[in-house]
Amino acid sequence: MPRPKPKRPGLIGKVCPETMRNALYDTREHGLSKKAAAIRHNIPRTTLRRYVTKFENVEDIANVTTGLSPNYSVNRIFSVAEEELCTYLQRCAKLHHGLTPKNVRMFAFSLAVANGKQMPPSWLKNEMAGKHWMTNYLKRYPLSIRTAEATSLGRAMSFNKVVVQRSDKIYKVDETALTTVQEAGKVVAMTGQRQVGQITSSERGALITMCGAINANGNNIPPLLIFRRKFFKNHMIKGAPNRTIGIASPSGWMTIEIFVQWLEHFISYAHPTKELPVLLIMDNHISHISYTAIKMARENNITLLTLPPHTSHKLQPLDRTVYGPLKAHYNSACHSWLMNHPGQCITKLYMTLPKY
C-alpha cells in the first residue's frame, strides 16, 4: 500500500509579507474581525490568528518589516552550503557509481552526525534520513531517481579523455548486416486483437554484409557487399549503388582476405599520397589487423587507427548516425515493395515468386 502524503493547506508559506501586514493592520486599526480579514486578504484563518497573537504587543504594525513570513530554515537540517551534496550525487552518477535512494538517505544521516545537526527521532532510530526528506530534497535540486543502464567495467574505464583525444577522424570504416526479412514495425490494428501480423518474405532471412566507409566531409566510398555463397555472380549486385563491388564468402562475414580486397578498392577511390596521406579509423576486429592489410596500408600512405576496445558504442559514428537510418529506410522500402507486389518475396539476389 503506498505511503499517504501529509495533508497540508495549499497556502502555507505562500502569503507575502505585505499581504500579512495589511491583514494585521485591518484587524488592529479598522477593527475587522480575524475571519473577515482572512477572507478579504485570502489568508488561512489559523495563520492569521497565529500572527495576530505574535504581534499583539507591537504598537506600530504599519512599520513592521520582519517576521511576517514563515522561517522554514529553522526546521532545515542542512544549511545551503552543506546541501552541496547535490553536486556530489551528480558527479557519482556521471562516473557510473550513482548512489541508490537508500544510500543517499544513509549518507545524509552520516553527514548530519558529522556536523552535529539536530535530527528528528526517526533519523536516529533508523540511522538514515526519512523518506519525506528525500522527496523534498529531490524537488529542491535538479535530481531524480532514474533506472540505471548496466555498463561494463571495460566500457566505463576505456571511454575517457586520454583514450579518445587521438580520434582525429578522416575516414571511418565498419560493417553492418542486412537481411531479406525486414523488421516488423508498428501498424494500426483493432483494439483488443490478440495477434497482429505483418507480411515478410519468409520466416528467416538471408544475410548480406555491407562494408562502408565515409570521410569527415560526408563523402563515401562505394560499398562492398558480401554474399553468403561459394561463388559470386555479377547479377547479384544488379540495382546496387554505382560502382558497388560484390564478393562471395561461405560465412557471409568479413574475413582477412576480403578486407584486403576492400582495401584495394578503398585505395582506388581515396587516392592517398605521400603529401596527402589518409587516416582510416576502424574497430579491432581480427579481419582488420592482418599483416597483409597493415603492409598494404603503409605502402599506400594510409595510417590505420583502431578504436580502443569497448569504445565503439561512443566513437564509431557509422553505428551511431549512419547505419541506424539506413536500416530504417531499408525496412520501409521492403514494406512498400511487398505491399505493391502481393504474392512475391524478396531474396538476396532478386524478387521472385514464392515456391509452394
Q: pLDDT per residue over 204-219, tens digit each? A: 667 888 898 988 777 8
Residues 311, 159: Cα–Cα separation, whole Å = 6
Dihedral (CA of 82, 85, 91, 92) sign: positive
CA–CA distances in Å: residue 258 to residues 272, 276, 305: 20, 26, 19
In sequence order, what are the residues at sequence separation of 6 or more whose Cβ sits closer than 8 angstroms to the Cβ of residue 156?
A: 95, 96
Residues 316, 321: Cα–Cα separation, whole Å = 9
In sequence order, what are the residues at sequence separation of 6 or more whose Cβ sits closer than 8 angstroms to the Cβ of residue 246?
A: 224, 225, 226, 227, 232, 234, 236, 237, 240
The pTM assigned to this predicted structure is: 0.48
Question: Radius of gyration over alpha carbons of the chain, in Å?
Answer: 35
HSE toward the beta carbon, residue 98, CA cutoff 13 A: 16
Q: pLDDT per residue over 282-306, tens digit each? A: 888 888 888 888 889 889 988 888 8
β-partners of residue 281 are: 172, 305
Evaluate if residue 231 carries a pLDDT over 50. Answer: yes
- Looking at residue 5, its pLDDT comes to 55
- Looking at residue 259, its pLDDT comes to 92
The answer to whether 264 and 296 are in contact (CB under 8 A) is yes
pLDDT band at 257 (very low <50, low <70, confident <90, very high): very high
Closest Cα to residue 104, out of 84, 85, 77? 85
The answer to whether 48 and 9 are in contact (CB under 8 A) is no
- Looking at residue 73, its pLDDT comes to 55
Angular region, 271: left φ>0, alpha ψ -120 to 50, beta rest: left
Kindly state the cell numbers that stand for 263: 582495401
Residue 123 CB coordination number (10 Å): 20
Q: In terms of C-beta density within 10 A (0-12 exposed, 13-18 middle, 19 or more buried), how is residue 117 classed?
A: middle
Average pLDDT over residues 112-137: 87
Q: pLDDT per residue over 74-118, tens digit each? A: 567 777 656 678 888 888 888 777 888 888 898 888 888 888 888
Average pLDDT, the chain: 78
- Looking at residue 118, its pLDDT comes to 83
The answer to whether 134 and 101 are in contact (CB under 8 A) is yes
Kindly state the cell numbers that stand for 111: 553527514
Closest Cα to residue 15, out of 36, 40, 39, 44? 44
